[in-house]
Amino acid sequence: MRRTLLALGLVSCVAGCSLGPPSPPVAVYDFGIESPKRSAARLNSSLALDEVSAPSALQSSAILFRLAYRDSAQIQPYSRARWAASPAALVNQRLRHALGDSAERGVSAVYDGVRTAYVLRIELDSFVQVVESPQAARGIVRLRASLIDTAERSLRAQRVFEAEQPSPSVDAAGAVHALSAATDIVIAQLVEWAARETQAPR
């Protein structure tokens, strides 16, 4: 009898817990439906884009932030929001779209195995919202671009690009807005740089 009452109590507890309010759904973000602004720069040389590389923290779908006013060395994820893909994958997609708009001969991927004059390699170093105070934050994007001359098998040029934009709100949605805007600034600068470097005499 005692065992029966205990079992009934456990069942009631489980049923009561399941009847509680459901957890809010996780918000999933990408860079939106707007294409990056088309650059006036034109890429005349053939170019292959390598997959964007990134540290392990930027290979997940977490939307990351730093509380600079408490501990700027600590990176934290928003618990009820995430990217639709890793930041490295999202930047890769955005960059390939922008390069494709500017390339006279199109842009291929390294894994396509197509022979091109140049290979562009990208290392994504920073992609995070920095919270300066409970009322103010900014999104920071930083990457390193390396342009490889495939004929010479040498490094043609290398440059670090960085941009930051204010977050309209100190939350995941504000982080997405700021990081998306900063990404487009960095990509516009990178496309102009790649066009200039590939047109210069070898």
- pLDDT per position as a tens digit, 159-194: 999 999 999 999 999 999 999 999 999 999 999 999
Residue 51, domain member (yes or no): yes
Could you tell me which residues are beta bridge partners of residue 172?
none
| Number of domains composing the chain | 1
At 35, the pLDDT band (50, 70, 90 cuts) reads confident
CB 96 within 8 A of CB 185: no
CA angle 25, 93, 124 (to 5 degrees): 90
Which tens digits make up the pLDDT trace of 1-13? 444 434 444 344 4
Mean of per-residue pLDDT scores for the chain: 88
Q: Domain range for residue 169?
A: 28-199
Structure confidence by residue, pLDDT tens digits, 73-103 = 999 999 999 999 999 999 999 999 999 888 8
For the chain, percent of residues with pLDDT exceeding 90: 68
23, part of any domain: no
- The answer to the question of residue 22 being in a domain is no
Question: Residue 156's domain is classified under what CATH number?
Answer: 3.40.50.10610
Confidence at residue 171, expressed as pLDDT on a 0 to 100 scale: 97
Cβ–Cβ < 8 Å for 58, 3: no
Give the pLDDT confidence score for residue 36 in this predicted structure: 77
Query: What's the rounded Cα separation, in Å, for the pair 192 and 195?
Result: 5
183: closest CA among 53, 28, 30? 30
Predicted pLDDT at 142 = 98
Say how far residue 110 (Cα) sits from the centre of its chain: 20
Is the residue at 11 inside a domain?
Answer: no
Per-residue confidence (pLDDT) for residue 74, from 0 to 100 = 94
Specify if 140 maps to a domain: yes
Give the model's pLDDT for residue 7: 43
- Residue 135 has which token pair? 């009322």
According to the model, what pLDDT value does residue 33 have?
87
Burial class of residue 63 in the structure, from the number of CB atoms within 10 Å of its CB (0-12 exposed, 13-18 middle, 19+ buried): buried
Running DSSP on this structure, what letter comes out for residue 40? S
How many CB atoms are located within 10 Å of the residue 43 CB? Answer: 25
Domain-located, residue 163: yes
pLDDT at 118 over 90: yes
- Looking at residue 19, its pLDDT comes to 53
